[in-house]
């Protein structure tokens, strides 16, 4: 692993003791470029919700509580 993360977040994942072994395993796998390409295609197909169709999440892991969504609308 070259320790040259493109984004700051990438570099932090590579250096953190909790995630560095996972990052190293992924980076060292022979099919990383294929899997990365597939992930980018999937990400590119995501349609962004705008206005009242979507929400800005306080935490990416969960939808906001109902009272929080009214603050953003």
Splitting the chain (73 residues) into consecutive groups of 10 residues, what average pLDDT does each group show? 70 89 88 89 87 81 70 53
Spatial CA neighbour of 23 closest among 45, 1, 40, 52: 1
The reported pLDDT for the residue numbered 65 is: 80
Q: How far apart are CA 57 and CA 68, in angstroms?
A: 9
Q: C-alpha 44: how far from its chain's center?
A: 13
The reported pLDDT for the residue numbered 2 is: 63
Spatial CA neighbour of 49 closest among 21, 72, 17, 25: 72
The reported pLDDT for the residue numbered 3 is: 59
């Amino acid at each position: 692993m070259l320790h040259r993360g493109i984004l700051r977040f990438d570099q932090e994942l590579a250096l953190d003791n909790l995630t560095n072994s996972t990052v190293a395993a992924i980076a060292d796998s022979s099919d990383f470029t294929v899997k990365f390409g597939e992930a980018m295609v999937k990400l590119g197909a995501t349609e962004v919700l705008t206005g009242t169709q979507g929400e800005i999440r306080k935490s990416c892991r969960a939808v906001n509580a109902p009272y929080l969504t009214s603050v953003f609308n």
